[in-house]
Amino acid sequence: MLHHSYSDAYIRDILRSVRTIAMVGASPHWNRPSYFVMKYLQAKGFTVIPVNPVAAGQEILGEQTYATLAEVPGKVDMVDIFRNSEAAGPITDEAIEKAARVVWMQIGVRNDAAAARAEEAGLKVVMNRCPKIEYARLFGELGWSGANSGVISSRRRRIG
């Protein structure tokens, strides 16, 4: 699949179907972008497991932090990558190993070779997007900040 744009339906299906997200590169510092995203996704009912070797053993937003994806106990539906594009390669391979269904790379992160490997293994891939922004955009909250969501609907939508 081409990764320059994603249909609303593709992103919506992913966000509706995943429950447990491993966030690689999650920061314990409250003013970092990853912290914002983790907090928001938790508020929307997702379980977010932080992965960060530097913060391993600490709690972030009430969740135990693991050094590697492999150490995360139990099933992971989606791996959200808060690292640079190069680092996203081996992390994607670990996500395949971990039997995740989705690999998501944050804004500015794109690794086409890794995406091809993940898709080959049957995973869905999103690159250069933020799940917080996409969730808010598709479920009616993004416009609250003056943003153009691109969504037009005459239906009475459930918010959030």
Instruction: Name the residues that contact another protein, by CB under 8 A.
Output: 30-31, 33, 35-36, 39-40, 43, 107-108, 130, 133, 136, 140-159
Smallest distance, another protein to C-beta of residue 122, A: 29
Nearer to another protein, 69 or 136 (CB): 136
Question: Residue 59 or residue 71: which is nearer to another protein going by CB?
Answer: 59
Question: Checking DSSP bridges between strand 47-51 and strand 124-126, what pairing results, if any?
Answer: unpaired
Q: List the one residue out of 140, 128, 130 whose CA is nearest residue 5.
A: 128
Answer yes or no: are the C-beta atoms of 93 and 117 closer than 8 Å: yes
Comparison of 29 and 73: residue with beta carbon closer to another protein: 29
Whether the CB-CB separation of 39 and 26 falls below 8 Å is answered with no
| Min dist. Cβ of residue 37 to another protein (A) | 9
Give whole-number Cα distances, 29 to 34, 39, 83, 128, in Å.
9, 12, 16, 22
The CB-of-27 to another protein minimum distance in angstroms stands at 12
